Amino acid sequence: EVPLVESGGGLVQPGGSLKLSCAASGFIFSGSYLHWVRQASGKGLEWLGRIRNKDYHYATHYAASVQGRFTISRDDSTNTAYLQMNSLKTEDTAVYYCTRDGGNHQFDYWGHGALVTVSS
Amino acid sequence: QTVVTQGPSSSVSPGGTVTLTCGLRSGSVSTSYFASWYQQTPGQTPRTLIYNTDTRSSGVPDRFSGSILGNKAALTITGAQAEDESDYYCLLYMGSDTWMFGGGTKLTVL
């Protein structure tokens, strides 16, 4: 069983919006923190942001490169995290991964990723 | 401008030892950066090798080890195998609930 499964990727025009989902299973989702990471084709990994759990009021933090454009949220009732992406640019084209913060700064579970292509 | 620095490439002979490093453009990496290391082969999901500087993730062979060497975080592979040929990324905690990956090192086993 794959702990994290991303969905919602696809083709979007520059300036458009897209919302990715990350469905979790096999662990206590409500107690976990979740991160989003992306990787452009042939490039390295880029940390995008994290959402904490209810105990910490679902606090979110973002990389400067996406602050103000991307929003992370979660629905503990459906064990799903989300990445809302607005004002998309061609340079946002990448595979987007969700990953669990396993504690001690370990990103222990990774999804297989969702491809987002921003192009006209 | 890359804040977290990694060498773009490295090579090792089968059975040999190689150390990959992760530094800062300005400053020194210490245990306060909680360095972690990820292995990724093309087209695959990243795999966690090391976290909290020197703790091996579950199921990771003991030929992989993490440390601080001088002013950098380091990943050492002792007794490299052909299947270790991959891209390796370090991740540093930059404070204020933000993290940053290095640019990655492509390791060739030949």
Tens of pLDDT along chain A (120 residues) come to: 779 999 999 999 999 999 999 999 999 999 999 999 999 999 999 999 999 999 999 999 999 999 999 999 999 999 999 999 999 999 999 999 999 999 988 999 999 999 999 999
Would the CB atoms of A61 and B98 count as touching at under 8 Å? yes
pLDDT at B1: 58
Chain B residues in contact with A110 by the CB 8 A cut-off are: 45-48
State the CB neighbour count (10 A cutoff) for residue A66.
20
Percent of chain B's residues with pLDDT above 90 = 96
Which residue among A35, A50, A97 sits closest to B45, beta carbon to beta carbon?
Answer: A97
Closest chain A residue to B99, measured at CA: A47
Chain A residues in contact with B89 by the CB 8 A cut-off are: 44-45
Which residue among A35, A50, A106 sits closest to B52, beta carbon to beta carbon?
Answer: A106
Interface check for A47 against chain B (CB to CB < 8 A): the answer is yes
> How close A104 gets to chain B, by Cα (Å)?
6
Give the mean pLDDT of chain B: 96
Which residue among A45, A61, A62 sits closest to B89, beta carbon to beta carbon?
Answer: A45
DSSP B37-85: EEEE-TTS--EEEEETTTEEPTT--TTEEEEEETTEEEEEEES--GGG-
| CA quadruple A119, A62, A31, A39: dihedral, nearest 10 | 40
A113: which residues sit within 8 A by CB, 6+ positions away? A6, A39, A95, A96, A97, B45
B18 phi and psi angles, rounded to 5 deg: -140, 145
pLDDT tens by residue, B55-90? 999 999 999 999 999 999 999 999 999 999 999 999
Chain A residues in contact with B45 by the CB 8 A cut-off are: 97, 110-113
Would the CB atoms of B51 and A106 count as touching at under 8 Å? yes
Tell me what the mean pLDDT of segment B37-46 comes to: 95
Q: Calculate the CA B71 to chain-centre distance.
A: 14
Chain B residues in contact with A102 by the CB 8 A cut-off are: 51
User: Is 90 exceeded by the pLDDT of residue B2?
Assistant: no
Chain B residues in contact with A63 by the CB 8 A cut-off are: 98, 100
Interface check for A96 against chain B (CB to CB < 8 A): the answer is no
pLDDT at B10: 98
